[in-house]
A and B are shown apart, each in its own frame.
Chain A
């Protein structure tokens, strides 16, 4: 790889790191869909169950593994967190709430 390409790659990694740290990292289409679903469902109850997220009409086009992966990504980005005593319950966290 030429040194120019190497430098561009390094710069992209550094900028992605910066995006994540200042909280403006872009999230994928499935993550966006899941986050909107949780915002929608959170109007009725603070804690949102995974089952309700999977059944939501917005997520019809996505497979179960993709939706679970999106939930995991959103959790690692700090957009949502696990809540309640039972498993599979999520709550909006940080500025998403």
Chain B
């Protein structure tokens, strides 16, 4: 793969990740603090970047870990400015957990990976679930220093809800793009 292509992939992944994370920081987290103030700040119940991580791993394989890492560390710094201080290892832990989930999903469900030569959306859901499981265990240990089932479940709920909403946003974005294209044709 050429350097230009790597750079292009890196930019697309970074922009998507930063946009999704900014939506969480600017909209989801404040709303969560008002409505569910008893949930700890480190747990987002609608973590949109999980959808971006899953898509990145599916499209770029293990390379996605490298593409995602700078944006993940940048958003850790931004989170700290917003009053949510994350562990220094958490961006790396998130990404490695997703990579592990992706590799296991690929090994366990090889048939689901492709339908008529095209990806099946349920397969993305399985990658999201596997990744979220490892992510929740890692993040709970990092932030609470012990494995608390309730907090770990919060991470899984946040990741899966974020994954699903992220896909819905993409779906409507493509639909909107199609509408715009149709309108400009007429």
Please report A residues at the B interface, Cβ cutoff 8 Å. 2-4, 7, 10-15, 17-19, 21, 24, 26
Please report B residues at the A interface, Cβ cutoff 8 Å. 1, 5, 8-9, 12, 55, 59, 115, 118-121, 124, 167, 170-171, 174-175
Contacts A7-B59, A11-B55 hold; do A18 and B171 have CB atoms under 8 A apart?
yes
Q: How many A-B residue pairs have CB under 8 A?
A: 40
Is the beta-carbon distance between B171 and A19 smaller than 8 angstroms?
yes
Interchain nearest-CB distance for A18 vs B (Å): 4
Q: How far is the CA of A18 from the CA of B170 in the complex (A)?
A: 11
Is the beta-carbon distance between B8 and A14 smaller than 8 angstroms?
no
Instruction: Considering the complex, give the chain A residue whose CB is closest to the CB of B4.
Output: A2
Partner of A15, one of B8, B9, B59, B121: B121
Interchain nearest-CB distance for B169 vs A (Å): 10
Contacts A4-B8, A15-B167, A15-B170 hold; do A10 and B121 have CB atoms under 8 A apart?
no
Residues of the A chain whose Cβ atoms lie less than 8 Å from the Cβ of B170: 11, 15
Residues of the B chain whose Cβ atoms lie less than 8 Å from the Cβ of A12: 174
The B contact surface, by secondary structure, is: helix
Is the beta-carbon distance between A4 and B120 smaller than 8 angstroms?
no
Residues of the B chain whose Cβ atoms lie less than 8 Å from the Cβ of A11: 55, 59, 119, 170
Q: Which of B118, B120, B121 is packed against the most chain A CB atoms within 10 Å? A: B121
Q: How far is the CA of A61 from the CA of B104 in the complex (A)?
A: 54
Is the beta-carbon distance between B174 and A18 smaller than 8 angstroms?
no
Residues of the B chain whose Cβ atoms lie less than 8 Å from the Cβ of A19: 171
Is the beta-carbon distance between B118 and A15 smaller than 8 angstroms?
no
Q: How far is the CA of A11 from the CA of B5 in the complex (A)?
A: 18
- A-B contacts, 28 of them at CB < 8 A, read A3-B1, A3-B5, A3-B9, A4-B5, A4-B8, A4-B9, A7-B59, A11-B55, A11-B119, A11-B170, A12-B174, A13-B118, A13-B119, A14-B118, A14-B119, A14-B120, A14-B121, A15-B121, A15-B171, A15-B174, A17-B115, A17-B118, A17-B120, A18-B121, A18-B167, A18-B171, A21-B121, A26-B175
Q: How far is the CA of A46 from the CA of B2 in the complex (A)?
A: 62
Is the beta-carbon distance between B119 and A10 smaller than 8 angstroms?
yes
Residues of the A chain whose Cβ atoms lie less than 8 Å from the Cβ of B124: 14
Q: How far is the CA of A4 from the CA of B170 in the complex (A)?
A: 16
Residues of the A chain whose Cβ atoms lie less than 8 Å from the Cβ of B8: 4
Q: How far is the CA of A49 from the CA of B120 in the complex (A)?
A: 38
